[in-house]
Structure 1
Amino acid sequence: MEIFRHIKDLLKQNIWRYALGVLLLIVIDAFQLVPPWIIGRIVDKLVAKDLPNDFLLLMVVTILALELVIAVCRYFWRVLITGGSREIETAIRQRFFGHLEKLSLDYYINNKTGDLMARATNDLNSVRMAFGPGVIMITDAIFLTLTTVTIMATQIDARLTFYALIPLPILAVIIAVLGPLIQRRHKKVSEAFSTISERAREAFTGIRIIKTFVRERAIVDEFNKDNHQMLKRNLQLVSVWGFMFPMIGFIASTSVVLAIYFGGQTVLSGHITIGEFVTFVTYLGLLTWPFMAIGWVINVLQRGVASLKRINDILDAKPDINDDESNEEVTRLFGDIELKDLSFTYPNDAIPMLKHLSFKVKRGQTLAILGRTGSGKTTLANLLIRLYNAPRGTLFIDGHDIRNIPLKLLRDHIGYVPQNNFLFSQSIKENIAITDDDTKLKKVTHYAKLANIGAEIESLPNGYDTMLGERGVNLSGGQKQRISIARSLIKNPDLVILDDALSAVDTKTEESILTHLKSELKDKTAIIIAHRISSIKHADQIIVLDNGYLSQIGTHDELLSQDGFYRELFEKQQLEERIASYDA
C-alpha cells in the first residue's frame, strides 16, 4: 500500500519475526479450542453417569498441558511481535529525525517545533501500537472467529450457529461507519496535541520575557484554552469509541441469548447433547474476545493510519538545499568571492531582499558589510553558506558557481558566527569543539583565548567541563558570542563570516578580539557584518547596503570622504563615544 512507502524496507526486515509470532499466536488460538470440546465430553459422561477416574484424570492433565504450551507460546509471540513493533518504531524515529536534519531552514520557518515534536512522539506511538497490539488483535479476531464458527457449524449444529450469528451484520455496519470517523477524529486529536506542545515549548523558551512583562496569567489562560480544545477533541473521539464498545458487547450478549434460547430447544428435540450444548456456549464465549478485539483493532489501526499519514507528510518533504547533479570536482576552497548582479527573494515573499549586487572579494581580504536593519546583510551571509539558494550564475567562490560546489565541502570551509548564537546543553569544551569530539583541550583553549573568553572559562569551578543550560542560559550574551567565535575558528576555515558577532561585548573587549583575529585571519577571507564602525574600519573593503541595494563601497577613509550613510553613522557613533567619555 502507498501509505507504507517509507517503511516497506522495515516491514521486510521484520517479516520473519512477525510471521513466526503470528504462527505462535495461531497455535495458541488453536489450542484454546480444545478445552471446550473436552468439557463437553466430560458433561456428556456425567449425564450418562459414565465418568471413569482415569478418563477424568487424562482430561485434566491434557487441559493443564495445553495451558502450559499456551503460556510458553504466549511469551514468545509477545517477544516477537511486540519486539518487532519496537524495532520498527526505533527505525522510524531514526529515519524521521535524520530526515528532519536534512530539511532546509525554510521548512522550520514554516512549521512549528511543537508540531514536529508531537509527530515524533504521539504519532509515532500510535504507529507502534498498530504494528504491535494491532497485529495481535487482528490475528485473534480473524483466526479465532473463523475457526470457532467453522467448528460450531460443522461439529455441533449449523442451524444453531446461524441463529447465534444473526447479529453479526449489525457489527459489520458499525465497523464500516465508525472506522473512518475514528480516523478523522484521531487526526484532530493529534493536531490539538501539536498545538498544545508548541504552546508549552514557546512558554518554556520565552520564560524570561513572560516574567519580565508579567504575562504569566495570560500565558496560562492561553495554555488552558488549548488544553480545553484538546479535551474537546479527545471527548469527541471517546464518544465514538465509547459507543462502539458497548454496542459490540451488546451484540456479543445477544448472540449468547439467542444461543441459549435456540440451543435449549435443540437439546430438547434431541438434535444435540447437553455436552455439545455446553461446548457450543463455551465456544460462543470464546468469540466474545474477538468481537471486542474488532473494536480495538478498528480504533488502533485507524489511529495508526492517521498518524502514519502525518509522519509521511514530513518524510515526503524534500530539502530545498541539496547537492545538484552538476556538482563540479572541487576538493577545497580558497575564498575568492564574486557576486554578479545578485538579486534574491525569500520563498513566499514578493519583494526582493537583495537587488542587483555586484562586487568581488579576493582571497585573504576582509570585507565589512554595513547597513540599516533589514537592508539584507544577514541574507547575504545566508546565501554564502547556502541556507538559501542564490540564483544560478550570480554567486561564485573561486570561480565556481556556489550551487555547483558540494554542500559539505562548502560548509566545512566556512566558519560562521550568526546573530543569534545557539549553544547546546553540553560542556563548554564540547560546544567549542563541536565539529570534532576528539579535539584536544590544548587546541580548544588556544581558540578560546583568541576569542578573549579563555580566562573567564578557566575561572569557572569546572572550567571547560562546565555544563551549559538550555541555549547557554547560564552565560551572558557576550560570553555566548565569544564561545561562538572560538567554535567557528577552531575548524580552521578558509572563509570566516561574523554576523554582528561583537554586538554584545564592550569596546575594549572588541578591540582585544579584533587584534587577535587579525593575525588568525591572515590569508583567510573574512566577512564582518556589523553596526559599529569601530568593528570594521580596518577592513580592506567596506560595502553599505540600503534596502537591498549596494549604495556605497570603498575603504574606511574613502567612505568618510563621501556623503552618505557611512559618514553619518561614523559621526553619530563618534558623538556617542564623546558623550560616554564625559559621563565617565
Structure 2
Amino acid sequence: MKSIFTLKEYFYKYKNMYILGILWLVIVDGLQLAIPKILGRITDALQANAVTKADIVKYALAIVLISIMVAFFRFLWRMYIIGGSRYMEYDLRNRFFSHLQTLSREFYDEHKTGDLMAHATNDINAIRMATGPGVVMLIDAIFLFTAIIILMIKTIDVKLTIIALMPLPFMIFTVTRFGRIIHNRFMKVQEAFSRLTEMVQENIAGIRVIKSFVQESQEIKEFDRISRYNVEMNVRLIKVWGFFFPLIQFLSSLSFMLVLGYGGIQVIYGDISLGDFIAFNSYLLLLLWPMMALGWVINLLQRGAASMDRVNTILNISPGIKDEPDVEDVKNIEGSISFNHLTFSYKDNQPLALKDINIEIPPGYFLGIVGRVGSGKSTLVKLLLRIYKVGNGEIFIDGKDINRMPLRILRENIGYVPQESFLFSTTVGENISLGNPEASTDQITAAAKIAHIYEDILDFPKGFDTPVGERGITLSGGQKQRIALARALIKDPEILILDDALSAVDTSTEEAILKDLKDFMKDKTSIVISHRISTIKDADEIIFLEEGSIAERGNHQELLNRKGLYYRLYQKQLLEEKLELED
C-alpha cells in the first residue's frame, strides 16, 4: 500500500478538486442520513394517529427535495473526484511515457514492448480506479460509518448499536487477510496481461514472417496457451474476490439478524418506539453500504497498489545515458573525432566487442569501415552516439570527452542512418522532417533529392503527403533506407554516419547517392560502414575490423597492395559481380 503514497505529488497538485469533491460527497452523505429520521417521525406520527394530509405532503416534499439535492451534489463530486483522478491518470501516463524516452538502449534490450504497453494502459488504469472510485468509496465508508454510529448511539439506543456492531471485528480480520491475497494475485494478473500484450504485439509486427513460414496454426496454439494462462490468473483472483464479497455481505447481514431480534424485543417492551426501530433499521441499511464498500475499497486500493508497484519499478530505473553534473557548456561541434584505446563489452560476462581501438578523424574526413558480421562495426558508431556507455578507453569530439558533452548537442550534430531504417506511421514528408521539424518544403525536397528518393516520391499517390504505413510497410527496403538518409541529411549534421545504410539500394543508385553526398559533406566528417568495398573505396582512410580489433588500415590502394583481408574481400566481391553479369 506504500506505493500509493508515491502519488502524493499528484494529490497535492489536484488538492482543490479533491477537497471540493470530498466536500460535495460529505454533503450527499449528510443529506442521505436525514431520510431515515424523517421516516421514523412519520411512523411514530402514524402510530399515534397524529398525521394530517398536510404533514404527509410536507414529509414527502422534504424527501423529494433531499433527493434532488443529493442528485445535484452527487454530480458535483463525480466531476471533481473522478475528474481529478482522470487528470492524475493523464499526468502519470505522460510522466511514464516521458521517462521511457530518457531510458537508454540497454533498458529496451531487456524489456519487451508489449510489457511496457501493458504498464502504460492497464496498470495506469488500475491506479486511476484507486484514486477515483477508490477514494470515493473510502470517504463514503469512513464518513457514513462514523456518522451513522454516532446517530444510532445519540438518537436511538447504545445497546442496540453495540449489538449491531458485533460482526465488525470479524469483518476487519477478513478485509486484512483477503487484502494481501488480492494484492498478490492481481500482480499475477497484470503480469499475465503483459505476456498476452507482448505476444499480440510481436505477432502483428512479424505477421509477414509468420505467413512466410506458414506458422499461423502454431502461433494460434501459442496464443491460446498464453491467453488461457491469462484467464487462469484472472479466475484465481475472481475466486478470492467472489468469496470475499459475499463473506462481507454475510457478516453485514448478521447485524440485521441481531438487530431484528434484540430491537424487536425492545419495541415490544416499549424501550424504543416503532419509529425509532424503523429509523435504526434504515440507518443499518445505510451502514451496509460502507461495510460492503470497504471490500470494494480494499480491492481497488490493492489493485492500484499492485499496479503502482509495477509502474514504480520502471520509474525508479535511472537513465543509463544522461548528462553528467560536470557537463561542459558546448554550443556546437566542428567534427574532429578521436578513439583512444577504446575497449567495450555489452555485458561483463560476454566477449569483448571492441579491443583497444585507436582512430584519429580530422574534420571533413571520410572514414570507411569494413569487416565481417559481428566484427564491431556498428558498436563503434553506437558508442560515438552514446547509445551505450563508453567502456574502457575514451572518445573525444573536438578534443572534448563525449561523456562530458551535452547529450542533446552531441546527437543534434550527428546524422545517423542505421541499416534497419525505422519509419513512423505518418507521411513521407513528416518522416523526412523528423530530423528538423521546422524544415521548409524546399529543405525537405533538397534532402530527398540528395538521397535520390525524390523521383520515387513524385510517383507516390500523394507525393510527400503519402502515408507510409506502419514501419514503412508500403515501401521497398531501398526506399525506406533513402527516406531515412534524407531524414539525417535535413539536420545538416557536422558528422554523418551511414551504418550499412545503402545495403538495399542497387549499385548504380548507390554510386549516384555517394557522388551527391561527397559534395554535401565536403567540409563535414563522414563515417561510412559498408559490406561493399565499392561504397568506401574513395574514403580518406579505411579500417578493416576483425573480431573487434583493427586488423588493417589505410586507403583503398594501400590495403590492396598489402594483399591481406581487405584484398581477399575485394577479390571475392569482384568475382561475385562478374558472375552476376554473366548470369
TM-score for the superposition, normalised by structure 1: 0.98
1:270 paired with 2:270, answer yes
In structure 1, distance between residues paired with 2:82 and 2:38:
32
Residues 263-319 of structure 1 deviation map (CA, whole Å, 9 limit, x = unaligned): 110111110011111111111111121121111101000000110111111111101
In structure 1, distance between residues paired with 2:386 and 2:125:
35
In structure 1, distance between residues paired with 2:487 and 2:85:
41
In structure 2, distance between residues paired with 1:245 and 1:325:
53
In structure 1, distance between residues paired with 2:132 and 2:580:
69
1:364 paired with 2:364, answer yes
- Taking the TM superposition and a 5 Å limit, the aligned residue runs for 1:120-139 are 120-139=120-139
Partner of 1:335: 335
Residues 529-557 of structure 1 deviation map (CA, whole Å, 9 limit, x = unaligned): 00000101000000000000110000000
Q: Which amino acid aligns with 2:231?
A: L
Q: Cα distance, 1:437 vs. partner?
A: 2.8
1:110 paired with 2:107, answer no
* Greater shift in the superposed pair: 328-337 or 70-79: 328-337
Is 2:343–2:392's contact at 8 Å kept on the other side of the alignment?
Answer: no
Is 1:542–1:556's contact at 8 Å kept on the other side of the alignment?
Answer: yes
SS of equivalent to 2:501: coil
1:582 paired with 2:561, answer no
Q: Which amino acid aligns with 2:237?
A: L
Partner of 1:236: 236
* Greater shift in the superposed pair: 161-170 or 73-82: 161-170
Partner of 2:538: 538
* Greater shift in the superposed pair: 67-76 or 115-124: 67-76
Q: Which runs of 5+ in 1 are unaligned?
A: none
Q: Cα distance, 1:339 vs. partner?
A: 1.2
In structure 1, distance between residues paired with 2:19 and 2:477:
58
* Greater shift in the superposed pair: 216-225 or 321-330: 321-330
Partner of 1:565: 565
Is 2:2–2:305's contact at 8 Å kept on the other side of the alignment?
Answer: no
Partner of 2:319: 319
Partner of 1:32: 32
Do the aligned partners of residues 272 and 111 (structure 1) sit closer, same or farther apart at CA in structure 2, a change above 3 Å counting?
same
Q: Cα distance, 1:391 vs. partner?
A: 3.6
- Taking the TM superposition and a 5 Å limit, the aligned residue runs for 1:524-535 are 524-535=524-535
Q: Cα distance, 1:55 vs. partner?
A: 2.2
In structure 2, distance between residues paired with 1:94 and 1:143:
34
* Greater shift in the superposed pair: 365-374 or 387-396: 387-396
Q: Cα distance, 1:392 vs. partner?
A: 6.8
Partner of 1:449: 449
Q: Which amino acid aligns with 1:16?
A: N
SS of equivalent to 1:33: helix
Partner of 2:494: 494
SS of equivalent to 1:497: strand
Residues 451-474 of structure 1 deviation map (CA, whole Å, 9 limit, x = unaligned): 111101101110010011110000
Partner of 2:252: 252
Do the aligned partners of residues 271 and 5 (structure 1) sit closer, same or farther apart at CA in structure 2, a change above 3 Å counting?
closer
Residues 193-229 of structure 1 deviation map (CA, whole Å, 9 limit, x = unaligned): 0000000000000001000000101111111111010
In structure 2, distance between residues paired with 1:278 and 1:225:
56
1:518 paired with 2:518, answer yes
1:42 paired with 2:37, answer no
In structure 1, distance between residues paired with 2:477 and 2:147:
71
1:385 paired with 2:385, answer yes
In structure 2, distance between residues paired with 1:476 and 1:439:
25
Partner of 2:307: 307
In structure 1, distance between residues paired with 2:220 and 2:348:
33
In structure 1, distance between residues paired with 2:5 and 2:492:
42
SS of equivalent to 1:367: strand
Residues 374-410 of structure 1 deviation map (CA, whole Å, 9 limit, x = unaligned): 0000000101111012147521111111111111111
Partner of 1:419: 419
Is 1:415–1:495's contact at 8 Å kept on the other side of the alignment?
Answer: yes
Q: Cα distance, 1:57 vs. partner?
A: 2.1
In structure 2, distance between residues paired with 1:181 and 1:148:
30
- Taking the TM superposition and a 5 Å limit, the aligned residue runs for 1:53-202 are 53-202=53-202
Q: Which amino acid aligns with 1:556?
A: H
Q: Cα distance, 1:192 vs. partner?
A: 0.3
Partner of 2:221: 221
Q: Which amino acid aligns with 1:81?
A: I
In structure 1, distance between residues paired with 2:235 and 2:327:
54
Partner of 2:464: 464
Coordinate RMSD, CA, aligned? 1.2
Is 1:39–1:279's contact at 8 Å kept on the other side of the alignment?
Answer: yes
Partner of 1:284: 284
In structure 2, distance between residues paired with 1:146 and 1:117:
42
Partner of 1:550: 550
* Greater shift in the superposed pair: 433-442 or 312-321: 433-442
Partner of 1:205: 205
In structure 2, distance between residues paired with 1:2 and 1:33:
33
Q: Which runs of 5+ in 2 are unaligned?
A: none
Partner of 1:437: 437
SS of equivalent to 1:567: helix
- Taking the TM superposition and a 5 Å limit, the aligned residue runs for 1:289-300 are 289-300=289-300
Is 1:393–1:401's contact at 8 Å kept on the other side of the alignment?
Answer: no
Q: Cα distance, 1:4 vs. partner?
A: 4.9
Q: Cα distance, 1:5 vs. partner?
A: 6.4
Is 1:392–1:403's contact at 8 Å kept on the other side of the alignment?
Answer: no
SS of equivalent to 1:214: coil
Do the aligned partners of residues 100 and 348 (structure 1) sit closer, same or farther apart at CA in structure 2, a change above 3 Å counting?
farther
SS of equivalent to 1:338: strand
Do the aligned partners of residues 349 and 417 (structure 1) sit closer, same or farther apart at CA in structure 2, a change above 3 Å counting?
farther
